[in-house]
Structure 1
Amino acid sequence: MIKNKSVPSVSVNYARNGSSKKSNELGMRVMQERAYNKRGEQYLLIKSPPASGKSRALMFIALDKIHNQGLKQAIIVVPEKSIGSSFNNEPLSKYGFWADWVVQPKWNLCNAPGEDGGKVNSVKAFLESEAQVLVCTHATFRFAVEKFGLDAFDDRLIAVDEFHHVSANPDNILGVRLGELINRGKVHIVAMTGSYFRGDAEAVLAPEDEANFETVTYTYYEQLNGYEYLKTLDIGYYFYSGSYAEEILSVLNPDEKTIIHIPNVNSRESTKDKHKEVEHILEELGEWQGTDPDTGFHLIKTQSGKIIKVADLVDDDPSKRERVSSALKRAEEKGNRDHVDIIIALGMAKEGFDWIWCEHALTVGYRSSLTEIVQIIGRTTRDAKGKIHARFTNLIAEPDAEESAVADAVNDTLKAIAASLLMEQVLAPKFNFTIKKTGSGPIEGYDYGPGGYNPDGNNVGVNEQTGQYQIEIGGLSEPKSKDAQRICKEDLNEVITAFVQDKTALERGLFDTEMVPEELTQVRMGKIVRDKYPELDDDDQEAVRQHAIAALNLTQKAKQLAGEIEESDETGNRNTALIDGVRKFAMDVRDLDIDLIDSINPFGEAYAILAKTMSEDSLKQVAAVIAGKRVNLSLEEARELAKRALKFKQERGRLPSITSPDPWEQRLAEGIAFLQRKAAESSNG
Structure 2
Amino acid sequence: MKNPAMSTPETNPTNHYTLPAVSIKTARTGATSKANALGMRPMQERAYAKRGEKYLLIKSPPASGKSRALMFIALDKLHNQSIKQALVVVPERSIGSSFADEPLTKHGFWGDWVVKPQWNLCNVPGADDVKVAHSKVKAVGEFLGSDDKVLVCTHATFRFAVQDLGIEAFDDRLIAVDEFHHVSSNKESNILGSQLADLIARDKVHLVAMTGSYFRGDAEAVLSPDDEARFETVSYTYYEQLNGYEYLKSLEIGYFFYTGRYLDAIMKVLDPSLKTIVHIPNVNSRESLKDKHKEVEEIMASLGYWEGTDSATGFHRIKGADGRIIKVADLVDDGDQRSTVLSALKDPAQKNNRDHVDVIIALGMAKEGFDWIWCQHALTVGYRNSLTEIVQIIGRATRDAPGKETARFTNLIAEPDASEEMVADAINDTLKAIAASLLMEQVLTPRFEFTPKNKGKIEGFDYGPDGYQEGQLNIGVNSDDGRVHVEITGLIEPKSEEAARICKEDINEVLATFVQDRKTLERGLFDHEGTIPEELTIMQMGKIVRERYPHLEEDDQEAVRQYAVAALAFTQQAKQTDLPEEGEGGGRDDETSRANLALIQGVKQIAMNVRDLDIDLIDRINPFDAAYAILAKAMDEKTLRQVQSVIAARKVNIPIEEARELAKRALVFKQERGRLPDLNSPDPWEKRMAEGIAALASFRKAEMKKEANGRE
Q: TM-score, normalised by structure 2?
A: 0.94
**1:585-607 superposed Cα distances (whole Å, 9 cap, x missing partner):** 34553211110110000111111
Tell me if 1:607 matches 2:628. Answer: yes
Unaligned runs of 5+ residues in structure 2 are: 1-12, 127-131, 588-593, 707-712
- Written as runs of structure 1 = structure 2, the 5 A alignment for 1:158-237 is 158-170=175-187, 171-237=189-255
Equivalent position of 2:4 in the other structure: none
Equivalent position of 1:417 in the other structure: 434
Equivalent position of 2:638 in the other structure: 617
* 3-state secondary structure, aligned to 1:565: coil
CA distance in 2 between partners of 1:559 and 1:517 (Å):
18
Quick one: which amino acid aligns to residue 138 of structure 2?
N
Contact 2:416 2:430 in 1 (8 A): no
Tell me if 1:376 matches 2:393. Answer: yes
Moved over 6 A (4+): none
Tell me if 1:296 matches 2:339. Answer: no
Equivalent position of 1:446 in the other structure: 461
CA distance in 2 between partners of 1:117 and 1:659 (Å):
72
2:364 is matched with which residue: 334, 347, 365?
Answer: 347
**1:556-613 superposed Cα distances (whole Å, 9 cap, x missing partner):** 111111xx22479834634533333334434553211110110000111111111111
- Written as runs of structure 1 = structure 2, the 5 A alignment for 1:514-529 is 514-529=530-545
Tell me if 1:533 matches 2:549. Answer: yes
Tell me if 1:551 matches 2:567. Answer: yes
Equivalent position of 2:162 in the other structure: 145
* 3-state secondary structure, aligned to 2:539: helix
CA distance in 1 between partners of 2:113 and 2:238 (Å):
27
CA distance in 2 between partners of 1:548 and 1:594 (Å):
11
CA distance in 1 between partners of 2:226 and 2:296 (Å):
48
Tell me if 1:112 matches 2:124. Answer: yes
Deviation of the 1:40 alpha carbon: 0.5
Contact 1:2 1:238 in 2 (8 A): no
CA distance in 2 between partners of 1:44 and 1:473 (Å):
32
Deviation of the 1:334 alpha carbon: 0.7
2:107 is matched with which residue: 90, 95, 117?
Answer: 95
**1:274-333 superposed Cα distances (whole Å, 9 cap, x missing partner):** 00000000000001110111101001110011111000000021x200100110001111
CA distance in 1 between partners of 2:580 and 2:604 (Å):
14
* 3-state secondary structure, aligned to 1:413: helix
CA distance in 2 between partners of 1:588 and 1:448 (Å):
21
* 3-state secondary structure, aligned to 1:404: coil
Larger mean CA deviation between 176-185 and 581-590 belongs to 581-590
* 3-state secondary structure, aligned to 2:463: coil
* 3-state secondary structure, aligned to 1:221: helix
CA distance in 2 between partners of 1:359 and 1:588 (Å):
41
1:52 is matched with which residue: 56, 64, 69?
Answer: 64
Contact 1:459 1:586 in 2 (8 A): no
CA distance in 1 between partners of 2:315 and 2:583 (Å):
44
CA distance in 2 between partners of 1:567 and 1:628 (Å):
43
Contact 1:78 1:160 in 2 (8 A): yes
2:514 is matched with which residue: 483, 499, 523?
Answer: 499
* 3-state secondary structure, aligned to 1:203: coil
* 3-state secondary structure, aligned to 1:434: strand
Equivalent position of 2:264 in the other structure: 246
CA distance in 2 between partners of 1:258 and 1:644 (Å):
51
* 3-state secondary structure, aligned to 1:479: coil
* 3-state secondary structure, aligned to 2:307: strand
CA distance in 2 between partners of 1:630 and 1:380 (Å):
41
CA distance in 1 between partners of 2:96 and 2:32 (Å):
24
Larger mean CA deviation between 399-408 and 151-160 belongs to 399-408
Equivalent position of 2:710 in the other structure: none
CA distance in 2 between partners of 1:168 and 1:11 (Å):
34
Contact 1:105 1:112 in 2 (8 A): no
Quick one: which amino acid aligns to residue 86 of structure 1?
S
- Written as runs of structure 1 = structure 2, the 5 A alignment for 1:257-336 is 257-317=275-335, 319-336=336-353
CA distance in 2 between partners of 1:589 and 1:69 (Å):
56
Equivalent position of 1:635 in the other structure: 656
Equivalent position of 1:78 in the other structure: 90
Contact 2:533 2:621 in 1 (8 A): yes
Equivalent position of 1:487 in the other structure: 502
* 3-state secondary structure, aligned to 2:290: coil
* 3-state secondary structure, aligned to 1:158: strand
2:403 is matched with which residue: 381, 386, 390?
Answer: 386
CA distance in 1 between partners of 2:668 and 2:205 (Å):
47
Deviation of the 1:549 alpha carbon: 0.7
Equivalent position of 1:255 in the other structure: 273
1:666 is matched with which residue: 680, 687, 695?
Answer: 687
Quick one: which amino acid aligns to residue 565 of structure 1?
L
Quick one: which amino acid aligns to residue 454 of structure 1?
Q
**1:70-105 superposed Cα distances (whole Å, 9 cap, x missing partner):** 000000000011100000110000001000000111
Unaligned runs of 5+ residues in structure 1 are: none
Contact 1:271 1:277 in 2 (8 A): yes
Equivalent position of 2:584 in the other structure: 570
CA distance in 1 between partners of 2:265 and 2:506 (Å):
40
* 3-state secondary structure, aligned to 2:265: helix
Larger mean CA deviation between 402-411 and 565-574 belongs to 565-574
Equivalent position of 1:30 in the other structure: 42
Contact 1:5 1:251 in 2 (8 A): no
Contact 2:281 2:287 in 1 (8 A): yes
Larger mean CA deviation between 275-284 and 240-249 belongs to 240-249
CA distance in 1 between partners of 2:350 and 2:631 (Å):
40
Tell me if 1:357 matches 2:374. Answer: yes
**1:619-659 superposed Cα distances (whole Å, 9 cap, x missing partner):** 12221221122222111111111111111111111111111
CA distance in 1 between partners of 2:534 and 2:408 (Å):
34
* 3-state secondary structure, aligned to 1:76: strand
Contact 2:570 2:602 in 1 (8 A): no
Deviation of the 1:450 alpha carbon: 3.7
Q: 1:401 to 1:415 in 2, by over 3 A?
A: closer
Contact 1:558 1:585 in 2 (8 A): no
CA distance in 2 between partners of 1:246 and 1:508 (Å):
32
Equivalent position of 1:476 in the other structure: 491
Q: 1:191 to 1:490 in 2, by over 3 A?
A: same
CA distance in 1 between partners of 2:509 and 2:404 (Å):
31
CA distance in 2 between partners of 1:2 and 1:426 (Å):
30
CA distance in 2 between partners of 1:459 and 1:223 (Å):
27
CA distance in 2 between partners of 1:527 and 1:129 (Å):
52
* 3-state secondary structure, aligned to 1:254: coil
* 3-state secondary structure, aligned to 1:110: helix
Contact 2:418 2:639 in 1 (8 A): no
Q: 1:27 to 1:523 in 2, by over 3 A?
A: same
Identity %: 69
* 3-state secondary structure, aligned to 1:395: strand
Contact 1:232 1:389 in 2 (8 A): yes
Deviation of the 1:506 alpha carbon: 0.4
CA distance in 2 between partners of 1:386 and 1:480 (Å):
48
Q: TM-score, normalised by structure 1?
A: 0.98
Tell me if 1:657 matches 2:678. Answer: yes
Equivalent position of 2:3 in the other structure: none
